[in-house]
Amino acid sequence: MHPDRVYHVEHVVMIDGAKLYAVTDLIFNGEHPIAVRIWGGKPGKEYPLVSVPLDPAHLSEHRDGQITHRYERPIEWPHRQRPISPGAHEPDTPSFGS
C-alpha cells in the first residue's frame, strides 16, 4: 500500500514511568488511521513495514507546525524478534574475531 498522503501524529510514549510525547507518521486506509513506524520500499514506492491501526475515537485533527493530528492514547508497537533457525545456537558471550 503506497499512501496518497502522509500526516504526522503526536502521541504519548511511556518511558521508565515518564510520560513523553513523540511524533509518528500517520496514513489512512479509507477512514482507518494507521501509525507507521518504519517504511520499506524504494523512493516513490514506500510501504508500511512496521505499523499499527489506531482507534479513530482517540484521534483528532491538530494543526501545529508539521503535526496534523493528536492521538490521546499510547501507541503499542509490535515487538519484533529476530527469527531463530532450528538448531541454531546463540553464544552466551559475544565473540570478537573468532
Question: pLDDT at position 2, please?
Answer: 62
Q: Is residue 25 situated within a structural domain?
A: yes
| CA dihedral sign, ordered 52, 58, 69, 17 | negative
Cell of 8: 504526522
Query: What residue numbers bound the domain in which 18 lies?
Result: 7-71
Whole-prediction pTM: 0.73
User: In the chain, which residues have pLDDT < 50?
Assistant: 81, 83-96, 98
Q: Is residue 89 situated within a structural domain?
A: no
Q: Is residue 76 situated within a structural domain?
A: no
Q: Is residue 94 situated within a structural domain?
A: no
Question: pLDDT at position 1, please?
Answer: 58
Number of domains in the chain: 1
Q: Is residue 52 situated within a structural domain?
A: yes
On whether the CB atoms of residues 18 and 37 are closer than 8 A, the answer is: no
The β-bridge partners of 27 are 34
